[in-house]
Structure 1
Amino acid sequence: MNNNNQRSALATYNHITYLLYILSYFTAGLLWIVPIFMNYAKRREADGTWLATHFDWQIKTFWYSIVWFVVGIGIITFALGSFGVSMMADSGNIAVGSVLLASLGFIIMGVTFIWHLYRIVRGWIALADSRPVP
């Protein structure tokens, strides 16, 4: 396969991975893992081309999203445990702190969701314009 055909095939492949990331929002995240495997499988074929930036962009987006999502879930889990303790101890102060901490966890998860969606849309637009992403 010549370079132009390979680049065209990799661009199509990237369109599919961006699409799968978007579709994952409608499948409760079940499709979220598929494009990351796809990106790792073809990443080296894009080395030295502008398409390599799209593979790296999607991989970084995935991992940073996972980390921040887990941080948010961890904070919420800790806060809910503290809330249960506050109910048993009949402590209103701990309950308020637990609710505020859980709110922080939900904010982190919400910002992560928006950031992930922004990066997928921004990357897909750049791919459609045949441009690399930063």
Structure 2
Amino acid sequence: MSETDFAAFTTKSPEDRTIMHVLYGLHTIAWVSGGTLAVIALIVNYIKRSDETDAIYASHHNYMISTFWWTVLWLLVTMPLWLLFVFPGFIAYAIVGLWYLYRCIRGWLRFNDNRPPR
């Protein structure tokens, strides 16, 4: 069994933690901008994930990316409910929005505790 070369891993700087907090913040308040902030955060997630060597940070990038794409999928799936009546569409979008908010806050709190998102 080979030993892990821990010197090859770079230590995370306070700036790296700040970037992750900003990304979680952008995802969390994305509803204010109609999703524009989430798209910006998603692009940064993809860029930062490709350079990531820390497993915790990489898993949080993956978590934010998957949360975004699952939310888009569920918004598209529930879109026909708006054609029936406004109320079912509103309820469906509210549930999806609350789920998105829950995932963002849960991931952010787990990141703050230095734990993986799942």
Could you say which TM-score interval applies, normalised by the shorter chain? 0.7 to 0.9
- Stretches of structure 2 lacking an aligned partner (at least 5 in a row): 1-8
Q: Please, which of 5, 12, 28 is the counterpart of residue 5 of structure 1? A: 12
Q: Please, which of 101, 105, 112 is the counterpart of residue 117 of structure 1? A: 101
1:51 and 1:25 mapped to 2: Cα distance?
Answer: 24
Determine if contact 2:78/2:89 at 8 Å carries over to the other structure: yes
The CA deviation at 1:48 is: 5.2
Name the counterpart of 2:34: 28
2:31 and 2:81 mapped to 1: Cα distance?
Answer: 23
User: What is the RMSD of the two structures over their aligned residues, measured on CA atoms?
Assistant: 2.2
2:48 and 2:73 mapped to 1: Cα distance?
Answer: 23
Residue deviations 1:22-53 (CA, integer Å, cap 9, x gap): 23222233212100101111112225511111
The CA deviation at 1:110 is: 1.1
Determine if contact 1:61/1:116 at 8 Å carries over to the other structure: yes
Structure 1 residues 72 and 48, CA gap change in structure 2 (3 angstroms): same
Name the counterpart of 2:89: 105
Report the residue type matching 1:56 in the other structure.
Answer: N
Aligned length: 111
* 1:130 aligned onto 2:117: no
When normalised by structure 1's length, the TM-score is: 0.71
Determine if contact 2:10/2:53 at 8 Å carries over to the other structure: no
Q: Please, which of 13, 23, 28 is the counterpart of residue 17 of structure 1? A: 23
- Stretches of structure 1 lacking an aligned partner (at least 5 in a row): 80-98
> Hey, which of these two has a bigger chunk of helix by percent?
1
Identity, % of aligned pairs?
28
